[in-house]
A and B are shown apart, each in its own frame.
Chain A
Amino acid sequence: MNNRIKKLREESLNAECCISAERALLVTEFYGSHNFLPEPVAIQRAKCFKYILENKAIYIGEDELIVGERGPAPKATPTYPEINLHSISDLDILNTRKKVWFHVEEETKEAYRNIIIPFWKGKTNRERIFSNVSNEWIEAYNAGIFTEFQEQRAPGHTTFGDKMFRTGMLDLQEEIKSALAALDFYNDPKAYERKAELQAMFIASQAIILFAERHAAKLEYLAAECKDAARRAELEKMAATCRRVPAHAPSTFHEALQHYWFIHLGVITEVNPWDSYNPGRLDRSLYPIYRKEIAAGTITREQAIELLEAFWIKFNNHPSPPKVGITAEESNTYTDFSLINLGGLMPDGSDAVNDLSYIMLDVIEEMRLLQPSSMVQISKKNPDRFLHRALRIVKTGFGQPSIFNTDAIVQELMRQGKDVVDARNGGASGCVESGAFGTEAYILSGYFNIPKMLELTLNDGVDPLTGKQLGLATGDPCSFSTFDELFEAFRKQLNHFIDIKIQGNNIIHSIFASHIPVPFLSLLTQDCIKNGRDYNGGGARYNTTYIQGVGLGSITDSLAAIKYHIYDKKALKMIDFLRVLHDNFDGAEALLLDLIYKTPKYGNDDDYADSLAREVFDIYYNAINGRPTSIGGVHRINLLPTTCHVYFGYMMGAMPDGRKAHQPLSEGISPVQGCDTKGPTAVIRSAAKLDHIRTGGTLLNQKFSPSFFEDEESISKLGSLVRSYFRMDGHHIQFNVVSVETLLDAQKHPEKYRDLIVRVAGYSDYFNDLGVDLQNEIIKRTAHEAL
Chain B
Amino acid sequence: MKGLIFDIRHYAVHDGPGIRTTVFLKGCPLACRWCHNPESRGTSSEPIVTKRRIGDKVFDENEMVGVRMTPLEVIMEAEKSRLFFDESGGGITFSGGEPLMQSGFLYETLKLCREREMHSAVDTCGLASSDNIQKIAELTDLFLFDIKLMDDQKHIKYTGVSNQVILNNLHLLASMGKKIWLRMPVIPGINDTPDDIRKLMNLLIELYPKVKNLNLLPYHAAAKSKYDRLGLDSSDYVFNQPTPEVMESLKLKLSQTGYAVKIGG
Contact = CB atoms under 8 A, between A and B. Distances in A.
Contacts of B9: 679, 787
B83 A728 contact: yes
Contacts of A589: 54-55, 57, 59
Interface in B7-32: 9-14, 18-19, 22
Contact of B87 (A593, A713, A724): A724
Contact of A717 (B18, B57, B59): B18
Interface string B54-72: 1101010100000000000
Given A681-B81, A728-B83, A787-B14, A596 B19 contact: no
A592 interface: yes
A787 B22 contact: yes
B84 interface: yes
Interface in B46-97: 52, 54-55, 57, 59, 61, 80-81, 83-84, 86-88, 90
Nearest to A595: B54
B11 A787 contact: yes
A137 B135 CA distance: 72
A714 B12 CA distance: 11
Interface in A706-744: 708, 710, 713-714, 716-717, 720-721, 723-724, 727-728
Interface in A442-493: none
Contacts of A724: 19, 83-84, 86-88
B54 A681 contact: no
Contacts of A605: 80
A680 B11 contact: yes
Contacts of B57: 589
A635 B6 CA distance: 49
Nearest to A586: B55
Contacts of B80: 605, 681-682, 685
Contacts of A717: 13, 18-19, 88
Most buried by A among B52, B59, B84: B84
Interface residues of A, number: 28
Given A679-B9, A721-B84, A593 B52 contact: yes
A720 B14 contact: no
A717 B90 CA distance: 9
B54 A727 contact: no
B11 A720 contact: no
B19 A678 contact: no
B54 A679 contact: no
Tier of interface size on chain B: 20 to 34
B20 to A, nearest CB: 9
Main secondary structure of the interface of A (DSSP, over half): helix
A720 B54 contact: no
A658 to B, nearest CB: 9
A592 B57 CA distance: 11
B81 A720 contact: no
A597 interface: yes
Contacts of A592: 54-55
Given A597-B52, A681-B81, A728-B83, A720 B18 contact: yes
Interface string A566-598: 000000000000000000000001101100110
B237 to A, nearest CB: 20
A681 B13 contact: no
Contacts of A787: 9, 11-14, 22
Nearest to B77: A605
A217 to B, nearest CB: 57
Contacts of B264: 710
A786 B14 contact: yes
A714 B13 contact: yes
A679 B83 contact: no
A728 B13 CA distance: 21
Most buried by B among A589, A590, A716, A784: A589
B55 A681 contact: no
Nearest to A597: B52
Nearest to A596: B54
A720 B85 CA distance: 9
B57 to A, nearest CB: 5
Nearest to A727: B83
Contacts of B84: 681, 720-721, 724
B159 to A, nearest CB: 24
A680 B80 CA distance: 12
A787 B24 CA distance: 13
Nearest to B8: A678
Contact of B19 (A721, A727, A784): A721
Nearest to A660: B55
B87 A678 contact: no
Contacts of A723: 87
Interface in B160-188: none
A720 B87 contact: yes
A739 B83 CA distance: 29
A605 B77 CA distance: 10
Interface string B175-218: 00000000000000000000000000000000000000000000
Interface string A597-611: 100000001000000
A527 to B, nearest CB: 40
Nearest to B50: A597
B212 to A, nearest CB: 16
B14 A679 contact: no
A679 B12 CA distance: 9
B72 to A, nearest CB: 18
B11 A727 contact: no
Nearest to A592: B54
Contacts of B52: 593, 597
A571 to B, nearest CB: 17
Contacts of B19: 681, 717, 720-721, 724
B87 A681 contact: no
A606 to B, nearest CB: 11
Given A596-B54, A720-B19, A727-B87, A681 B11 contact: yes
A678 B88 CA distance: 19
Contact of B10 (A593, A679, A708): A679
A708 B264 CA distance: 12
Most buried by B among A605, A710, A717, A728: A717
B85 to A, nearest CB: 9
A589 B54 CA distance: 6
A380 to B, nearest CB: 11
A640 B100 CA distance: 48
A714 B18 CA distance: 9
A713 B15 CA distance: 12
A294 to B, nearest CB: 35
A632 to B, nearest CB: 41
Given A679-B10, A681-B19, A681-B80, A720 B55 contact: no
B59 A720 contact: no
Interface in A651-695: 678-682, 685
Given A679-B9, A717-B88, A721-B19, A593 B54 contact: yes
Contacts of B55: 589, 592
B50 to A, nearest CB: 9
Contacts of B88: 716-717, 720-721, 724
A448 B14 CA distance: 42
B194 to A, nearest CB: 28
A713 B83 CA distance: 18
A678 B57 CA distance: 25
A233 B19 CA distance: 56
Nearest to B56: A589
A448 to B, nearest CB: 31
17 contacts: A589-B54, A589-B55, A589-B57, A593-B54, A679-B9, A681-B10, A681-B19, A681-B84, A717-B19, A717-B88, A720-B18, A720-B84, A721-B11, A724-B84, A724-B88, A784-B11, A787-B11
Given A681-B80, A682-B80, 15 more contacts: A589-B54, A592-B54, A593-B59, A593-B61, A678-B10, A681-B19, A720-B87, A720-B90, A721-B11, A723-B87, A724-B86, A727-B83, A784-B11, A787-B11, A787-B22
List 3 tightest A-B contacts by C-beta distance, closest first: A720-B88, A681-B10, A720-B87
